[in-house]
Amino acid sequence: MFSGLKFFIKKQLFRFRSEITTEELVLRGLKVGKNFKRQEKTIIDQWHCWLIEIGDYVTLAPRCHILAHDASTADTLGFTRIGTVKIGNNVFVGAGTIILPGVCIGNNVVIGAGSVVSKDIPDNSLAVGTPAKVVCDLDSYLHKKSEELLHSPVFGTAYTLKYGINSQQKQTMQNALKDCRFGYIRDYKTPADTKYFSKIESVKMYE
Ligand SMILES: CC(C)(COP(=O)(O)OP(=O)(O)OC[C@H]1O[C@@H](n2cnc3c(N)ncnc32)[C@H](O)[C@@H]1OP(=O)(O)O)[C@@H](O)C(=O)NCCC(=O)NCCS
């Protein structure tokens, strides 16, 4: 009963934003694995969504666009080109990325913000740009970032809107980031990966 109401409200909200919920897309044939995070204003081709397959643990950051059709020939040739899109497991797609029809993104991949993915991206890689190109393997990127984390200001979940960050904590955060610019914030859902954090206990956090 409650989940039905929740689904109805979500559907109306998405309609209001001219979007379609993931649940409706799945009813039309979209395939999505577990723990899918589709952030705001992300568009998944509603007209050909059964050609799109998304694996487990995939995040699509805000304003991404996954396309499974290309109507650039519709008014001239009278045919629209269509293409399958496959996104593997453990994939993060940065904000504003466009994924074109016919593309396959492998497992364990990060795509940088604002990329246009026009060709396949192999497993275990970080790709950025227009067109998106692999710049390094994902393990090297995560090792680099875990080293950076050990030497950066790190904040606990209390420093988030979700957990009611207050003005004093905002000030603390601003001061801590004044010189180094970058820091990290603890994700409340994900356990730290011991593969990268053998020294996790040495991470000092603002609590
Ligand atoms: C791609 C990304 C993961 C790389 O992170 P990083 O390794 O820390 O990046 P750096 O700042 O060290 O940059 C490395 C190089 O890549 C370039 N670069 C970084 N992000 C880029 C992007 N999105 N597109 C194109 N080039 C990018 C930098 O300019 C730099 O180039 P240089 O070597 O010529 O100086 C990150 O920049 C990104 O885009 N993250 C996604 C952010 C996002 O979408 N947030 C949404 C909220 S969830």
Q: Is the CB of 42 under 6 A from ligand 1?
A: no
pLDDT at position 109 = 98
C-alpha 112 to ligand 1 mean position (Å): 6
Q: Is the CB of 96 under 6 A from ligand 1?
A: no
Which three-class secondary structure state does DSSP give residue 124? coil
Confidence check: pLDDT of 116 > 90 = yes
Confidence check: pLDDT of 120 > 80 = yes
pLDDT at position 16 = 67
Q: What contacts 192, CB < 8 A, 6 or more positions away?
A: 200
pLDDT at position 25 = 97
pLDDT at position 194 = 73
Ligand 1 atom at minimum distance from 97 CA = 44
Domains identified in the chain and CATH numbers: 2-137 (2.160.10.10), 151-206 (no CATH)
pLDDT at position 171 = 97
pLDDT at position 19 = 78
C-alpha 47 to ligand 1 mean position (Å): 32
| Residue-averaged pLDDT of the chain | 92
Phi/psi of residue 178, nearest 5 degrees: -55, -50
pLDDT band at 150 (very low <50, low <70, confident <90, very high): confident
Ligand 1 atom at minimum distance from 141 CA = 7
Mean pLDDT of 177-182: 92
Mean pLDDT of 43-62: 97
Mean pLDDT of 42-69: 98
- Whole-model pTM? 0.92
Mean pLDDT of 146-151: 89
pLDDT band at 37 (very low <50, low <70, confident <90, very high): very high
Alpha carbon distance 115, 113 (integer Å): 6
Alpha carbon distance 124, 137 (integer Å): 6
pLDDT band at 192 (very low <50, low <70, confident <90, very high): confident
pLDDT at position 188 = 76
Mean pLDDT of 144-173: 94
Query: Which is more confidently placed, 35 or 188?
Result: 35
Alpha carbon distance 42, 137 (integer Å): 26
